[in-house]
Amino acid sequence: MIRRVLAVVALTTAALATVPAGAQAAPSCQAGYLCNTQYFSDSARTILVGVKTEFCSGEVSTWGRVTGYLKWSASPCSSSR
């Protein structure tokens, strides 16, 4: 009985230790901003696998694949005068 409990505890601990941390969803881009989302293969964020750019004109450009590991940035659009 004790061996079975210890085995379950060991397996549960191992399973929880291998769950990757840091996956997230991209925030939405507000009107009047240019937003860039870079998607990476894992939590180390060293291998770029996709990009989504939301332009001030409303156009959206994407390539690659979407993952939960990302870097997001937003810049205000300049007004043309």
- The predicted pLDDT at position 29 comes to 94
Tens of pLDDT, residues 30-69? 999 999 999 999 999 999 999 999 999 999 999 999 999 9
- The pair phi, psi for residue 24, each rounded to 5°, is -150, 165
pTM: 0.67
- What is the amino acid identity at position 7? A
**What sign results for the dihedral spanned by CA atoms 38, 41, 42, 46?**
negative
Number of other CB atoms surrounding residue 34 within 10 Å: 16
Cβ contact 35:76 at 8 Å = no
The residue among 64 and 24 whose pLDDT is bigger is: 64
Copy the structure tokens of residue 57: 């004109």
Query: Residue 74: exposed, middle, or buried by beta-carbon count in 10 A (0-12, 13-18, 19+)?
Result: middle
Confidence of residue 18 (pLDDT cuts 50, 70, 90): very low
Q: Determine the average pLDDT of the residues in 1-24.
A: 53
Does 4 or 57 have the greater pLDDT score?
Answer: 57
